[in-house]
Amino acid sequence: MAPIDPHSTTDSSHPLATHISPSLYFDFPSSTILSSALLRLPGPHSGPISLDTRSLVITSVTDPVSATPLPFTLSPSDHIKGQTLTITLTHHSQFLVTFSTSPSSSALQWLSPPQTFNKTLPFVYTQCQSIHARSVFPCQDTPAARVCFSAKLNVPHQLHAVMAARHLERRAPMAGEAGGICDDLVWCGEGRVVEEFVMEQPVPPYLFAFAVGEIGWREVGPRTRVYSEAVSEVLDAAAREFAGTEDMIRVGERLFGPYDWERFDLLVLPPSFPYGGMENPRMVFLTPTVIKGDASGAQVVAHELAHSWTGNLITNKTNDHFWLNEGFTTYAERRIVEAVQGEDIAALNIGIGWKGLTEEMERFKDNMEFTKLKTNQEGVDPDDVYSRVPYEKGFQFIWRIEREIGRPAFDDFLKKYIATYKFQSIDTDMFINFLKVNVPGIENKIDLILWTEGTGIPPDAMEPVSNIYAAIVSLASEFKLGRMPREDEVADWHGQEWELYLENLPKSVEASQVSALDARYRLAESKDYEVKVAFLQLAISSRCKDYYSEVEKTLKEVGRMKYLRPLYTALTQGPGKEEEKIFAKRVFSEARDTYHPIAQGVVESILSKYL
Ligand code: BES
Ligand code: ZN
């Protein structure tokens, strides 16, 4: 009788649901979903069962066989975990919850027609990781619980629904199907259609995902389509950018074992999508900022693809072990990148990651808990402590093991690890035990406790070894002495080289140096947001006010938190920034409605920390 996850109400004495069937009626005018969810248990259960919810209005809980109501209570709201729905069962193996979402449900972004590309129809999509699935339907919202889904989405006929699941059919709504969600006349109203999906492989709730809008697609490979708002230019550009996806899937299969999810489709979301990518199974969600016209967006696809093995097949049991998802995936991503784009590009990515990791040490210098791999997130919102640490320190740990035992042995180890734990949720200790059993004596070579439980960067972590990497880092250090790179030195540079260069410059320089660099290389206008944002961050820290209008434009056109965080932080952190703080507050108040609720929350917490 104990909670199994610091972010969930799920109790060790309760059975875990094996199957959830949501029926969702999308009501765009009110930005709500009228819903029901049937939850099936592995067997009959008597006594209480607790589910996570947030911003849900619960109308009823019933026994679906007898249609009799079941007693339930809803706890007061916890600001991180939400509200616990406790239902009392009497030998029930399933129950039906009827409820509706609210406009503030944190997983959902509702875009009004003017906020879309085509400006004529609305759009809605989910982002459930880490703990937002509970704002779409009541569930045991812990990655320790794996469930299969069958879903019915009732949408206006001008729109299409996509899901991280297998599409079964698009058909007319049927009378009797509404099951108490709404009146049959509403469910079967004119111009409504039902799209049905199933996910037959058990997945953690954070991988539940859908989007509804005016959605089109292009074929890009034998098991890959790219979907986005139905705009020819966007679809064509995306199809070109991601043309190499099948090659990457094949590399993944060679390195990590069979691709178990049948399809690997890509959904390009509107610019407000808060992440670079999200590994929703069968259909990865992507920010449009990865479409740069030079196939470099493949790095994000490589990362999300890699999650098909590390994350979706083997999942962290709770967010305390998030590094198992992201550190392994960052390692796997770089192996795919190395195979398809070469060792130099992989080394640049390792170098950019290394710089990011050292910066996070600075960010968490007063809160060293979050420089550990295995963390304690009791009372902590995972969105607030999201950082590069699980990615890059996790990567460094896996890379360290590879160096110790050699690549061929490590590749065999990795395949065996994946085959052993697939479709399970594991924790750091399980991984360490598996490592010790399969690599006897490893604990005498690598300080496994220091790596997983210690703070900071262990001494045997390392920077990549590569000529291009070293040349760029040394050019960046010469900038401090007043030397700008020459045209011939940067002739072959693409986004990643510039990003690495900018990341390695001092935090702030003379405002005149910022303008001089931009006058020569036009970085503020870069189509590559990684470059543009790294440059704008330098401009803000150097108090080069000429670029503030570009900062404002950027903060208003994208909602990817990787860009919002550093820009809002640079504007508000540190003393004597009165003008910048007022500017940040104004821009946020004007841009807020265009951000996803998760991004709104993150920017609010940055502003409240420094204002
Ligand atoms: N799973 C993450 C995104 C995520 C993490 C969402 C935590 C919510 C909570 C995804 O796989 C990811 O890491 N995306 C990166 C891609 C990058 C590392 C190539 C991103 O969004 O920047
Ligand atoms: Zn990831």
**Is 360 close to ligand 1, i.e. is its CB under 6 Å away?**
no
Tracing tokens 């924790």 back to the chain, one arrives at 427
Going by C-beta distance under 8 Å and a sequence separation of 6 or more, which residues neighbour residue 509?
Answer: 479, 480, 538, 542
What's 531's DSSP letter? H
Q: What is the mean pLDDT of residues 173-193?
A: 96
Q: What confidence tier does 594 reach under pLDDT thresholds 50, 70, 90?
A: very high
CA separation, residue 26 to residues 33, 58, 120, 201, 269 (Å): 5, 17, 17, 25, 19
Dump pLDDT digits (tens) for 391-447. 999 999 999 999 999 999 999 999 999 999 999 999 999 999 999 999 999 999 999
pLDDT for 295 equals: 80
Report the SS3 class of residue 601. Answer: helix
The verdict on whether omega for the bond into residue 106 sits within 30 degrees of 0, i.e. cis, is no
Closest ligand to the CA of 388: 1
Q: What confidence tier does 186 reach under pLDDT thresholds 50, 70, 90?
A: very high
pLDDT for 212 equals: 99
CA distance 564 to 64: 45
Q: What confidence tier does 103 reach under pLDDT thresholds 50, 70, 90?
A: very high
Q: Helices 407-421 and 428-438, interaxial angle, to 10°?
A: 130
Residues serving a catalytic function are 304, 391
Dump pLDDT digits (tens) for 456-509. 999 999 999 999 999 999 999 999 889 999 999 999 999 999 999 999 999 999
Closest ligand to the CA of 207: 1
Residue nearest to atom 8 of ligand 1 (CA): 129
Contact between 289 and 307 under an 8 Å Cβ cutoff? The reply is no
Q: What is the dihedral of CA 513, 519, 523, 526, to 10 degrees?
A: 170
- Determine the residue type at 154: N
Dump pLDDT digits (tens) for 246-265. 999 999 999 999 999 999 99
- 287 Cα to the center of ligand 2, angstroms: 14
**Is 562 close to ligand 1, i.e. is its CB under 6 Å away?**
yes
pLDDT for 294 equals: 85
Dump pLDDT digits (tens) for 5-44. 999 999 999 999 999 999 999 999 999 999 999 999 999 9
Tracing tokens 């009497």 back to the chain, one arrives at 90
Half-sphere exposure of 220 (CA within 13 A, CB side): 26
Looking at the chain, the whole-number percentage of residues with pLDDT higher than 70 is 100
* Average model confidence (pLDDT) across the chain: 97
Q: How far is CA 294 from the centre of its chain?
A: 23
Q: What confidence tier does 1 reach under pLDDT thresholds 50, 70, 90?
A: confident
- 276 Cα to the center of ligand 1, angstroms: 6
Closest ligand to the CA of 563: 1
Residue nearest to atom 22 of ligand 1 (CA): 276
- 428 Cα to the center of ligand 2, angstroms: 17
Reference 374, options 334, 317, 314, 304; nearest CA is 317
Q: Which residues pair with 217 in a beta bridge?
A: 227
**Is 300 close to ligand 1, i.e. is its CB under 6 Å away?**
yes
pLDDT for 565 equals: 98
Residues in the chain, overall count: 611
Half-sphere exposure of 368 (CA within 13 A, CB side): 5
pLDDT for 61 equals: 98
- 27 Cα to the center of ligand 2, angstroms: 32
Element holding 68 (H helix, E strand): none
Q: Which residues pair with 99 in a beta bridge?
A: 35, 58
Residue nearest to atom 10 of ligand 1 (CA): 278
Dump pLDDT digits (tens) for 296-318. 889 999 999 999 999 999 999 99
Contact between 49 and 179 under an 8 Å Cβ cutoff? The reply is no
Does the CA dihedral 479-485-490-495 come out positive or negative?
Answer: positive
Contact between 331 and 399 under an 8 Å Cβ cutoff? The reply is yes
Question: Does residue 158 register a pLDDT over 90?
Answer: yes
pLDDT for 480 equals: 85
Element holding 592 (H helix, E strand): none
Tracing tokens 């599409």 back to the chain, one arrives at 167
Going by C-beta distance under 8 Å and a sequence separation of 6 or more, which residues neighbour residue 192?
Answer: 154, 155, 156, 157, 173
Tracing tokens 């994208």 back to the chain, one arrives at 558
Q: How far is CA 14 from the centre of its chain?
A: 29
- β-strand pairing of 160-163 with 215-221: unpaired
pLDDT for 548 equals: 98
Q: What is the DSSP string of 82-134?
A: BEEEEEEEEEEEEEEEEEE--TT-TTEEEE-GGGSSSSSS-EEEE--TTTTGG
Task: List residues forming the annotated binding site.
Answer: 127-129, 274-279, 303, 307, 326, 560-562
Reference 103, options 53, 36, 33, 25; nearest CA is 33
**Is 303 close to ligand 1, i.e. is its CB under 6 Å away?**
yes
How close are the terminal C-alpha atoms of the chain, in Å? Answer: 42
Q: What is the mean pLDDT of residues 317-338?
A: 98
CA 504, 508, 509 angle in degrees (round to 5)?
A: 95
pLDDT for 369 equals: 97
